[in-house]
A and B are shown apart, each in its own frame.
Chain A
């Protein structure tokens, strides 16, 4: 006969694995520092791309002015402003990425810890059933001997 309690425990564990295969379980396979480092690296690339695109939009908006004054433009202060804004933007988004990655990791860790606790509980159920089977077998043998 199927043990319903154990069955439901297995079902809930399977549901967790199904739902979190690409999320919490995947996140917890790496160290926290590595996960945060990967997020920051990705953030660096994406923020740089977004900044370049935003610069392009800005240039499009002021295209007439830029083309009319191309010969008279002072590039050094312009470049300095572009770099400073880039660094500020990168800093802000790095902080957001770091915070998000850390919170995600900590929450994933807590969920995986609960999952492992439930897994140990399932293991205990199997162990209890083995012990009970042993008791029943011994009980039968004792009764027969008597």
Chain B
């Protein structure tokens, strides 16, 4: 089961890696479309913005902007719809969002998507996914983001359920001051405060459990978070005397649990069977470390085992004769060393190597001072001339590597034979 999931995960990752130029804008488009459509379904007071054509255009624009662009456009959409209902409602919406952005999101813009994801999660009947997901993936400061997201949803809900009837009252004219007074008071009602407390407690509990050094910490955190969410909601409704649809609540919690388990698959996928507990010490500290390996797909794990077979480390790969072709995709180990991945159309797609790889390769090959860092072979250091260390114009990397290795071995033989001659002459 683990191996199937690991293979599935790796296939998704490879698919994303190969086609990310297309997939990323498509995902941003889909996310923006879902967010804007749910905002329109909830509010929809400004008819010009209710058109699907406008929403699609906005989503296309969001697909080329960064994620915060989607947040800005979504917030403007909410404010615009509120202005459609009434100037005082739109002004209040603008004030609320400006305060949240100025006081918090300008310092932590990474979490700004929660402002719009929370209303979407409520609309899809899985509100628990927000605090549990934030507890799994974020830190304690993101509690404020979750609170802001909940305030964003509750404001939309208050506008729809309380303010709209006031504005559309049978009398035809609504008192501006009544509406202005009602909005903050409805937003600070007991039910909303109870929901805020629920979200904060669930998120903190999930975060604390997730960080424990135990097996299945993430799964435990998700389960405890879901149960805590249900318990607090039911307890809250009992205390406040409000009605709650238990069936929808439980269904939503189960849906949220499923979503969070999928999140866990992509963000944290350990193999607990291979975990080790290490204890060691140095001059300053005692170390007690729990090491849990990641679940790798069978193909990747086999390849890594092959590399480690001879007991050689990664740093020796420069002098290894690793130019033989591997199976399947026709890429050599050297190509893989540079991070090549078989593309579907191109024969070879070179992915950029990491900076550590470049650093290790450059530092080995382009040494200016051979006195300090000399290449060794069999534990002995060999002096090389400048010409030997640089590739010639017409030769490939493999030929250069072979030539360098040959010259190093020749020098070693020369040194061994000269040592032997010295020993023999000494004996004589």
Contacts and interface: CB of A to CB of B under 8 A. Distances in A.
A30 B365 CA distance: 37
A46 B106 contact: yes
B103 A11 contact: no
Nearest to A50: B102
A113 interface: no
Given A5-B362, A5-B365, A64 B102 contact: no
B181 interface: yes
A63 B107 CA distance: 32
A64 B366 contact: no
Kindly name the residue among B92, B362, B365, B394 whose own CB sees the greatest number of chain A CB atoms within 10 A: B362
A9 B99 contact: no
B243 to A, nearest CB: 27
Interface string B389-424: 011011001000000000000000000000000000
Interface stretch (B132-140, B303-311, B340-348, B353-361): B353-361
B99 A11 contact: no
A4 B397 contact: yes
Contacts of B107: 96, 100
A3 B397 CA distance: 9
Interface stretch (B5-13, B183-191, B229-237): B183-191
A47 B101 CA distance: 11
B316 interface: no
A100 B180 CA distance: 36
Chain B interface bracket (under 10, 10 to 19, 20 to 34, 35 or more):
20 to 34
A121 interface: yes
A56 B390 CA distance: 72
Contact of A12 (B180, B352, B368): B352
Contact of A49 (B102, B358, B368, B386): B102
Given A46-B102, A50-B103, A61 B362 contact: no
B144 to A, nearest CB: 12
B177 interface: yes
Contacts of B177: 63, 67
A54 B99 contact: yes
Contacts of B262: none
Contacts of A124: 366, 368
Q: Provide the main secondary structure of the chain B interface.
A: helix
Interface in B361-378: 361-362, 365-366, 368
Interface in B99-123: 99, 102-103, 106-107
B180 A53 contact: no
B353 A128 contact: no
Kindly name the residue among B92, B99, B338, B365 whose own CB sees the greatest number of chain A CB atoms within 10 A: B99
B72 interface: no
A60 interface: yes
A121 B358 CA distance: 11
B394 A1 contact: yes
Given A63-B177, A100-B107, A128-B366, A47 B102 contact: yes
A104 to B, nearest CB: 11
Contact of A132 (B96, B353, B390): B390
Contacts of A54: 99
B366 A60 contact: no
A143 to B, nearest CB: 13
B291 interface: no
Nearest to A89: B103
Contacts of B180: 60, 63
B362 A53 contact: no
A123 to B, nearest CB: 12
Kindly name the residue among A11, A132, A135, A136 whose own CB sees the greatest number of chain B CB atoms within 10 A: A132
Nearest to B338: A8
A56 B365 CA distance: 67
A15 interface: yes
Interface string A1-34: 1011100110110010000000000000000000
B246 interface: no
A61 B358 CA distance: 61
Contacts of B365: 5
B397 A60 contact: no
A103 B98 CA distance: 25
Nearest to A129: B390
A48 to B, nearest CB: 10
A10 B353 CA distance: 12
A86 to B, nearest CB: 13
A57 B106 CA distance: 20
Contacts of A100: 107
B92 to A, nearest CB: 7
A18 to B, nearest CB: 11
Closest 3 CB pairs of A and B: A61-B184, A50-B102, A63-B181
7 contacts: A5-B362, A9-B358, A11-B352, A12-B358, A60-B181, A61-B184, A64-B181
Given A1-B394, A5-B361, A9-B358, 18 more contacts: A5-B358, A8-B352, A8-B353, A12-B352, A12-B353, A12-B355, A50-B102, A53-B95, A57-B99, A60-B92, A60-B183, A63-B180, A67-B177, A121-B366, A124-B366, A132-B387, A135-B386, A136-B393
Interface of A: 1, 3-5, 8-9, 11-12, 15, 46-47, 49-50, 53-54, 56-57, 60-61, 63-64, 67, 93, 96, 100, 121, 124-125, 128-129, 131-132, 135-136
